[in-house]
Amino acid sequence: MASVGGDNARGAELLRATQAEVAEGIDALFDQLLAVPADPRGPLYEAMRYAAIAGGKRLRPLLVRAAGDLFHVDRALTLRVGAAVEAMHVYSLIHDDLPCMDDDDMRRGKPTTHKAFGEATAVLAGDSLHALAFEWLCDPATSADPFVRAELCCELARAAGPAGMAGGQMMDLAAETSDFDLPTVTRLQQLKTGALIAFSVEAGAILARIPAEGRRPLRGYARDIGLAFQIADDIMDVEGDEALAGKALHKDEAAGKATFVTLMGLDRARDQATLLVEQAIAHLGGFGDEAALLRAIARYVVERDR
Amino acid sequence: MASVGGDNARGAELLRATQAEVAEGIDALFDQLLAVPADPRGPLYEAMRYAAIAGGKRLRPLLVRAAGDLFHVDRALTLRVGAAVEAMHVYSLIHDDLPCMDDDDMRRGKPTTHKAFGEATAVLAGDSLHALAFEWLCDPATSADPFVRAELCCELARAAGPAGMAGGQMMDLAAETSDFDLPTVTRLQQLKTGALIAFSVEAGAILARIPAEGRRPLRGYARDIGLAFQIADDIMDVEGDEALAGKALHKDEAAGKATFVTLMGLDRARDQATLLVEQAIAHLGGFGDEAALLRAIARYVVERDR
């Protein structure tokens, strides 16, 4: 147990260092890729920069990096793919915050994009980041191998579309007026947040040309941490501190929405999250020390806001 | 001259027949690709079908088909790429019609998507079609060659993003409060409608693996018909019949927006459109009869609503 505790402490230190490095790299890349043009599109780029730079925990780019490290993928490439997946994530946050959707005023501790730039610019900033994610992925700078570029685009499109993130958000809107059971809420979250998390993990393996069969343990890992992440989010919505979270909480409760917490209760939800983290780590049994970062991330997703 | 008139008549007949065939093919493909799932995402798919099926002139799929015909590309493949580009076009119409954008109630003779399904579902239907366009393009069913799939995704992403359609829409919003000159309005339209029209034409050549240099005449053709199309649109906004157009007209005038018509006057705008059509056809000088459809489309873009 002392050795496991020591491993955990080393993992947490590795996570802290890598997260800082990835966050810095993503900001630098966004700064370069989103340079503001000297024409009437200026506010569009300013809005994208406002939403994308210096925000969030960069969990998805961190997962691309951690999965790429398993196969010794060039870190400049995992960072580039990380920027694409983060652009996709930021676009979804901008659109989800709109008045016609979740109607949120605060995000990451500052006014949401439509509050700062107006609704029209926010819609277009989201649309632009959505397209840019694909533009960056399929650029030869991401991979000299066109098969890798096409595969990345295809998987990202699936994760973002109606069978992924957008479909999950649609179910989430329906949740306010329906009584969803546990399997339906699980499915909702697998689409809404799970699909993009799974893409992030698989992308590292795609960059290394690992075929679909070889990615199975990573898919299992991603599925489990995706659900654990969402359960932790639901717990935070009930127990969290708004100042720390940087956004409005207790929204599910107010909307009368079924969540993992309302369906399972706080204690069982906490146990379930812990179990999922253990299960996620068990999927990595075939890997050695090179998976230390993925293991640390799994522990982190349920502890991130305590 | 009798022979040119005869060519034009044959071209118009070819156009009518091909347009009907392509429109039917696109509807059948959308019907299949947008099958409604038996889960809470149902309304999302209904909204996509409402906006995408049985609507519009299918100019962009027609251009993919016409350009593909130059190089004997399998028509099932040009139809598939046509569905992707039309999905991208329909998504842009849904978002442009939103209350925070152009705030339009009617489109293609029926209530706009947000009027029929609510704003949240409309935003998500647009987002979903945006992602699906990439998913369909980079599927192996589009081309067995991953280079072709990656190239198509890359070009479509550029045409849709902030240096294309989304950037053009941003400029269009700025046009309401700025005094744009003719070069700026030209640039605006090249981004807003020109980029996707250019993609449609180039896609036919990409499917045939024609390298970028070899696509130069097609790019010239596309640039000219794109502008001619928009000048015709501005003329229609002044002179058109709302019932025939299926949407609100005289909106630019009401918004005090600079257009080709306000900047050039009706007569010069008409002359310019005719000149652009002739120029577009001149770009096709290196092709024979196989370009008859592209020539007929060039004539059609300035005559479509008379």
What pLDDT, in 10s, does the model give residues B139-175? 999 999 999 999 999 999 999 999 999 999 999 999 9
- Residue A305, pLDDT score: 53
**Where do the H-state alpha helices sit in chain B?**
2-33, 42-52, 59-70, 75-96, 113-117, 119-137, 146-160, 165-175, 182-189, 195-207, 216-239, 242-245, 251-255, 260-264, 266-283, 292-301
Using one digit for the tens of pLDDT, what is the confidence trace for A8-28? 889 999 999 999 999 999 999
Mean pLDDT value across chain A = 94
- Residue B1, pLDDT score: 42
Q: Cβ(A165)–Cβ(A185) under 8 Å?
A: no
Q: What b/e string do you get for A54-65 counting C-beta neighbours within 10 Å, with b at 16 or more?
A: ebbebbbbbbbb
CA end-to-end distance (rounded Å), chain A: 23
Smallest CA-to-CA distance from A59 within A304, A288, A306 is with A304
How far is B270 from B232, CA to CA, in rounded Å? 8
Smallest CA-to-CA distance from B45 within B29, B26, B30, B66 is with B30
**Beta strands A110-111 and A106-107, pairing class:** antiparallel
| A96-116 average pLDDT score | 96
CB B167 to CB A135 under 8 A? no
Those of residues 100-129 in A touching chain B at CB distance below 8 A are 100-101, 118-121, 123-124, 126-128
| Residue A46 clears pLDDT 90, i.e. is over it | yes
- Residue A2, pLDDT score: 44
How far is B140 from B126, CA to CA, in rounded Å? 24
- Residue A3, pLDDT score: 56
User: What one-character DSSP code corresponds to residue B37?
Assistant: P
- Residue B2, pLDDT score: 44
- Residue B4, pLDDT score: 64
Task: Tell me the torsion sign for CA atoms A23, A28, A29, A30.
Answer: positive
Smallest CA-to-CA distance from A48 within A2, A8, A83, A6 is with A83
Burial class (CB in 10 A: 0-12, 13-18, 19+), B151: buried
Chain B residue nearest residue A149, CA to CA? B150
> Position A220: which residue type?
G
Q: Is B89 on the interface with A (CB under 8 A)?
A: no
Shortest Cα distance, chain B CAs vs residue A72, angstroms: 24
Residues ≥6 apart with Cβ < 8 Å to B139: A154, B149
Among candidates B44, B123, B151 on the partner chain, residue whose Cβ is nearest the Cβ of A100 = B123
Dmax (CA) of chain A: 61
| Residue A141 clears pLDDT 90, i.e. is over it | yes
| A173-179 average pLDDT score | 92
Contacts with A131 from chain B: Cβ below 8 Å: 130, 157, 160-162, 164, 166
pLDDT bin (cut points 50, 70, 90) of residue A4 is low
| Residue A299 clears pLDDT 80, i.e. is over it | yes
Which fold does the domain B2-301 belong to in CATH?
A: Farnesyl Diphosphate Synthase (1.10.600)
> Position B275: which residue type?
L
- Could you tell me the residue ranges of all domains in chain A? 2-301
Contacts with B166 from chain A: Cβ below 8 Å: 44, 124, 127-128, 131
How far is A27 from A4, CA to CA, in rounded Å? 34
Contacts with A180 from chain B: Cβ below 8 Å: 40
pLDDT bin (cut points 50, 70, 90) of residue A1 is very low
Tell me how far CA of residue A255 lies from CA of A231, B39, B176, in angstroms: 18, 21, 38
Using one digit for the tens of pLDDT, what is the confidence trace for A71-89? 999 999 999 999 999 999 9
| B50-58 average pLDDT score | 93
Contacts with A41 from chain B: Cβ below 8 Å: 162, 167, 170-171
Task: Report the residue of B123, B137, B171 to disrupt the A interface, i.e. the one with the largest count of A CBs within 10 Å.
Answer: B123
How far is B191 from B172, CA to CA, in rounded Å? 10
A244 vs B200, which has greater pLDDT?
B200
Q: What angle do CA B43, B47, B49 make, to 5 degrees?
A: 115
How far is B265 from B256, CA to CA, in rounded Å? 15
Using one digit for the tens of pLDDT, what is the confidence trace for A229-286? 999 999 998 888 877 778 888 788 778 889 999 999 999 999 999 999 999 999 999 9
Q: Is B212 on the interface with A (CB under 8 A)?
A: no
| A43-66 average pLDDT score | 96
Shortest Cα distance, chain B CAs vs residue A219, angstroms: 20
B236 vs A64, which has greater pLDDT?
A64
How far is B259 from B238, CA to CA, in rounded Å? 10
Beta strands, E only, chain A: 106-107, 110-111
- Residue B119, pLDDT score: 98
Chain A, chain B: beta-carbon pairs less than 8 Å apart: 167
> Cβ atoms within 10 A of the Cβ of B23, count?
17
**Beta strands B106-107 and B110-111, pairing class:** antiparallel
Using one digit for the tens of pLDDT, what is the confidence trace for A177-229? 999 999 999 999 999 999 999 999 999 999 999 999 999 999 999 999 999 99
- Residue B271, pLDDT score: 96
> Cβ atoms within 10 A of the Cβ of B30, count?
23
> Coil, helix or strand for A63?
helix
- Residue B283, pLDDT score: 98
Contacts with B179 from chain A: Cβ below 8 Å: none
Mean pLDDT value across chain B = 94
Contacts with B119 from chain A: Cβ below 8 Å: 100
